[in-house]
């Protein structure tokens, strides 16, 4: 089996796990949006935001070390590394839980929501239970067992969905019941994660590794700094919208400012699979970057031809999709959805594995620091000048796009490769042209020839028509959509 084929198969399993995780998250949001009023739902989303934000800080960059170190050590040593890092994550989880409980009032004050303090105290046991579960993706992608990532994500997210939604639906429409469900689901997730982490090392004898904790932290701690600044970039609009426009406005923003599921599915799977590959390539041959560039371009080309058509369709039918997911009360969330979709055209460029695999975590952190300072200053200026949450979202999206090109420029300097060589420009341009032509035909047919009132039926028919136009005209534009999936069905080469 060729490396390209194997990478595609591994990416597929990671992508499937990401899709199931994202899909279940969307389902839970869709259900809770209908059972909770905007104030309660906004508070619930603020708790999740506070957790995910602080998670990056308290996890100390440790989940990333698996994909960096494991490819460089034997399987037996890998077992010792996983145990060592997992124990540190337990300690980090304990500190995280205590901090969330003690500083709940401070966080509530920052986000301008008094009710948030009580919710955070209820939620505080969750980090202790979930931090030791981190790192599954890095472990299984390293050992080419990504199918377990799909199984794990689907299983644990399904448990999460059931325990979060069921109490709200069956007993009382109160976000506190959803938080109790989080805690119970986290207990099951911890047990499952500990079992899964042992799978690659069955019948492997315990041996000591010469990789010391100080070496691990030397690599991971700059990632903490990068993560903190990365969070600052992502959270600026969350803070300003919550603080200046209230929980109701944040609820509308939260339901709209989401990635297209397939984008998250593909980009996250690409990042997970590329990290150990790049780490091994740079470790073996530090001077020849041909293989790295070929892998990068091939991955970007496949991502573009799969993602761009979907982005175009969802841009046109954003309002219908948001109403279908979250009800007519969140119709205005479609504005945020379209804004974030613009970012998705660019964030298919996955640059993080390259910087992390080369060990340039300090540079990675420094760039994020400068960008974080810029976004907070600019977002405040936008609030003062425009007094609009939409303007805040546009500002953060624009800077996120700029960030991507800055990192690609730095990558070109590191690898001594011309900037434009990173992009398969022809394939990306042809995909966009074809997608715009196909959606124009669909819209003309739907608007002028068939009038469909039923929302689900309208989306189903237009999506099927769009898919037929895309697949049937692929040959004209020199795009073979089936080639991206061929390795999944043809494993022997």
**330, 256 contact by CB (below 8 A):** yes
Q: What span, in angstroms and rounded, lies between the C-alpha atoms of 470 and 129?
A: 45
What is the predicted pLDDT for the residue at 34? 78
Q: What span, in angstroms and rounded, lies between the C-alpha atoms of 413 and 426?
A: 23
CB atoms within 10 A of CB 465: 18
Mean pLDDT by 10 residues, the chain (493 residues): 50 55 68 78 83 77 74 78 84 90 88 84 91 83 77 85 82 80 91 88 76 75 73 80 81 80 66 63 62 74 84 90 83 89 84 72 81 90 90 89 88 80 84 91 84 84 91 84 53 39
Domain ranges of the chain: 3-489
* Token code pair at residue 288: 């020849």
Q: Is 189 helix (H, G, I), strand (E, B) or coil?
A: helix
What is the predicted pLDDT for the residue at 4? 46
Q: State pTM to two decimals.
A: 0.65
Largest CA distance in the chain: 71
CB-based burial label for 70 (10 Å; 0-12, 13-18, 19+):
buried
CB atoms within 10 A of CB 355: 22
């Amino acid at each position: 089996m060729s490396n390209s084929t194997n990478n595609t198969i591994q990416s597929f399993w990671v992508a499937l796990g990401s899709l199931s995780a994202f899909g279940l998250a969307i389902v839970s949001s869709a259900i809770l949006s209908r059972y909770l009023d905007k104030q309660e739902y906004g508070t619930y989303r603020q708790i999740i935001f506070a957790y995910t934000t602080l998670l990056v800080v308290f996890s100390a960059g440790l989940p990333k070390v698996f994909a960096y170190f494991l490819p460089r050590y034997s399987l037996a040593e890998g077992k010792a590394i996983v145990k060592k890092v997992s124990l540190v994550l337990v300690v980090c989880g304990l500190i995280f839980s205590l901090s969330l409980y003690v500083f709940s009032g401070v966080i509530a004050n920052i986000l301008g929501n008094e009710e948030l303090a009580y919710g955070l105290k209820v939620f505080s046991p969750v980090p202790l239970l979930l931090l030791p579960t981190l790192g599954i993706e890095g472990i299984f992608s390293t050992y080419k067992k990504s199918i377990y990532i799909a199984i794990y994500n689907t299983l644990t997210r399904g448990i999460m969905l059931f325990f979060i939604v069921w109490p709200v639906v069956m007993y009382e429409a109160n976000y506190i019941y959803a938080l109790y469900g989080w805690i119970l689901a986290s207990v099951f997730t911890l047990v499952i994660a500990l079992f899964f982490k042992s799978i690659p090392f069955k019948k492997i004898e315990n041996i000591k590794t010469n990789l010391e904790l100080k070496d691990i932290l030397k690599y991971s701690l700059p990632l903490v700094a990068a993560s903190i600044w990365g969070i600052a970039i992502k959270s600026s609009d969350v803070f300003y919208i919550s603080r200046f426009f209230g929980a109701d406005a944040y609820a509308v923003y939260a339901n709209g400012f989401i990635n297209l599921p397939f984008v998250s599915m593909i980009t996250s799977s690409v990042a997970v699979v590329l990290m150990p590959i790049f780490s091994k390539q740079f470790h073996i041959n530090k001077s020849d970057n041909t293989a790295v560039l070929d892998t990068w371009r091939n991955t970007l080309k496949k991502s573009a031809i799969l993602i761009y058509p979907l982005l175009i369709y969802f841009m046109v039918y954003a309002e219908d999709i948001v109403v279908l997911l979250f009800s007519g009360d969140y119709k205005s969330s479609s504005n945020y959805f379209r804004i974030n979709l613009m970012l998705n055209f660019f964030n298919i460029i996955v640059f993080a594995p390259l910087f992390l695999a080369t060990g340039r975590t300090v540079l990675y952190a420094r760039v994020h620091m400068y960008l974080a300072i810029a976004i907070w200053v600019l977002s405040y200026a936008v609030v003062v000048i425009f007094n609009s949450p939409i303007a805040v979202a546009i500002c953060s999206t624009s800077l996120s796009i700029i960030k991507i090109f800055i990192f690609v420029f730095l990558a070109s300097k590191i690898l001594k490769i011309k900037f434009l060589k990173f992009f398969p420009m022809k394939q990306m341009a042809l995909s966009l042209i074809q997608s715009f032509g196909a959606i124009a035909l669909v819209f003309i047919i739907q608007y002028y020839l068939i009038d469909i009132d039923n929302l689900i039926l309208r989306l189903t028919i237009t999506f099927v028509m769009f898919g037929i136009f895309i697949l049937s005209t692929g040959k004209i534009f020199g795009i073979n959509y089936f080639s991206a999936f061929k390795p999944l069905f043809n494993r022997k080469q």
